[in-house]
């Protein structure tokens, strides 16, 4: 890759818009659900799957279910996208509120 192409790609990456949101994980065999919030909903599934495959996810119940049933037993679900908010603290407060809402509605454990 040429230097100019690399700089253009880096600039485009930095300027991209991220969408925050709420997601859920379902273990089909047990029916257990976990819900979480993410500043970039498009990338959170890869991050979670990676930590689970490495046996390094901080939520022990989720890691135990993953180890017992494997990746095929899990379903990732995007529940809600949060409206674009430039102020980070406002976005974080909205994410916390919506996560509590979804944990009660599903019911699910918060991640």
Q: Which domains does the chain have, with CATH numbers?
A: 18-110 (3.40.1440.10)
Entry pTM: 0.84
Kind of pairing between the strands at 74-81 and 33-38: unpaired
C-alpha–C-alpha distance, residues 55 and 66, integer Å: 9
Residue 8 is predicted with a pLDDT of 80
User: For residue 104, is the peptide bond before it cis, meaning its omega torsion is within 30 degrees of 0?
Assistant: no
Distances (CA, A) of 12 to 1, 21, 43, 56, 88: 15, 22, 17, 32, 21
Residue 23 is predicted with a pLDDT of 98
- Taking 90 as the threshold, does the pLDDT of residue 5 lie above it? no
Q: What is the mean pLDDT of the chain?
A: 92
Instruction: Give the residue among 4, 5, 2, 40 at the shortest CA–CA distance from 23.
Output: 40
């Amino acid at each position: 890759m040429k230097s100019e192409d690399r700089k253009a790609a880096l600039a485009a990456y930095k300027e991209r818009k991220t969408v925050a949101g709420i997601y859920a994980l379902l273990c089909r065999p047990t029916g257990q659900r976990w819900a979480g919030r993410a500043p970039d909903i498009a990338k959170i599934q890869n991050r979670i799957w990676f930590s689970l495959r490495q046996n390094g996810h901080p939520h022990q119940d989720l890691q135990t279910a993953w180890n017992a049933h494997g990746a095929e037993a899990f379903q990732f679900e995007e529940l809600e996208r949060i409206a674009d908010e430039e102020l980070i603290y406002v976005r974080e407060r909205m994410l916390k509120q919506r996560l509590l809402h979804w944990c009660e509605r599903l019911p699910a454990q918060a991640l």
